[in-house]
């Protein structure tokens, strides 16, 4: 697992055709450097992604997600939603017959800020490192035990309609999932959000941590890029993914939330223990995109 340098800048995972008839999809993972390379705009090196079990878990997590989209670079090149497009999605979601009043009220209360949000039109579904400062009680224990992320809706056992499904969040539920994702960047407590906020770097995650640690793990976000600054320049805002609760993770790391992000530990799922490591997770693609600009339709 850790310790071996990557043989190339890109690793490939293949989603094979399952018995359910889900088509084959090629997921290129291009967010990691060799251990002897220094990432752009960062002093860390990436963790290795060579373990067979790691690929298997990511593949298992991806099957059934209705994956559409591409890399973070492709999402940024694919432009941001126009305000009119977001307004139309909000109207569509508010007109749903099957929507909980709490969701409807909160969307209405935050309508203006939702409609002025800047986010990518394309979903990002390439496996990569994300960072999170836990804000939910027992979140660490849940992640260690289940290898999945915990949403506030799952924690409180209060998933309100429209219930976003793993396999339809970026297909037939695209508009509603998008509106609820934007809402989660404004308020994820009332109603409890089905989505979980993840930063793309340690520094951003550490500002929001309500626990001792910032966590990093590999995941397929299957989310647009949100939290983009009004200037549309990547790196100036609080860029984040809003990832559906229950999404599987691998390669779990943690680092003290107060500090410089230098003392990382890695979790051994078999031994159920944390150990100090020299590996330091980084989303290299995001670091390389700092300063670039996303164009709004």
Domain ranges of the chain: 11-289
The alpha carbon of residue 188 and the mean position of all alpha carbons in its chain are separated, in whole angstroms, by: 15
> Given pLDDT bands bounded at 50, 70 and 90, which one contains residue 32?
very low
- Residue 58 is predicted with a pLDDT of 79
Its sign, for the CA torsion 244, 249, 253, 254, is positive
Joined tokens for residue 8: 């190339």
Percent with pLDDT over 90 in the chain: 71
Question: How far lies 172's CA from each of 46, 161, 185, in Å?
Answer: 36, 15, 22
Which residues partner with 250 through β-bridges? 218
| CB 256 within 8 Å of CB 206 | no
Q: How many CA atoms lie within 13 A of 144 on its CB side?
A: 16
The per-residue pLDDT for range 220-264, each reduced to its tens digit, is 999 999 999 999 999 999 999 999 999 999 999 999 988 777 899
- Residue 53 is predicted with a pLDDT of 53
Q: pTM value?
A: 0.83
Joined tokens for residue 116: 């002025």
Its sign, for the CA torsion 33, 118, 150, 124, is negative
State whether residue 113 is helix, strand or coil.
helix
Q: What element of type H or E holds 90?
A: helix 83-94
What length is written for the chain?
A: 297
Strand (E) positions, 2-81?
A: 11-15, 25-29
């Amino acid at each position: 697992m850790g310790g071996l340098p990557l043989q190339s800048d890109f690793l490939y995972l293949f989603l094979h055709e399952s018995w359910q008839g889900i088509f084959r999809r090629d997921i290129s993972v291009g967010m990691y450097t060799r251990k002897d390379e220094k990432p752009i705009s960062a002093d860390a090196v990436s963790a290795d992604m060579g373990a067979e079990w790691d690929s298997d878990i990511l593949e298992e997590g991806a099957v059934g997600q209705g994956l559409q989209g591409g890399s973070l670079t492709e999402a940024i090149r694919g432009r941001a939603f126009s305000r009119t497009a977001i307004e139309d999605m909000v109207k569509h979601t508010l007109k749903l017959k099957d929507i909980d009043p709490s969701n409807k009220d909160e969307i209405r209360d935050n309508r203006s800020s939702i409609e002025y949000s800047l986010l990518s039109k394309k979903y990002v579904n390439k496996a990569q490192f994300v960072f999170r400062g836990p804000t939910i009680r027992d979140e660490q224990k849940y992640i260690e035990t289940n290898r999945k992320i915990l949403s506030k809706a799952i924690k409180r056992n209060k998933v309100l309609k429209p219930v976003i499904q793993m396999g339809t969040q970026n297909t037939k539920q695209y508009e509603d999932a998008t509106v609820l994702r934007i809402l989660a960047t404004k308020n994820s407590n009332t109603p409890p959000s089905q989505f979980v906020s993840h930063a793309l770097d340690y520094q951003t995650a550490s500002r929001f941590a309500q626990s001792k640690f910032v966590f990093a793990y590999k995941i397929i976000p299957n989310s647009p890029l949100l939290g983009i600054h009004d200037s549309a320049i990547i790196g100036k805002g609080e860029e984040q993914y809003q990832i559906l609760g229950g999404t599987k993770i691998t390669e779990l790391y943690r680092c003290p939330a107060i500090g410089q992000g230098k003392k990382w530990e890695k979790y051994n799922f078999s031994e159920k223990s944390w150990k100090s490591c020299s590996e330091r997770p980084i989303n290299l693609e995001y670091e390389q995109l700092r300063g670039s600009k996303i164009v709004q339709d």
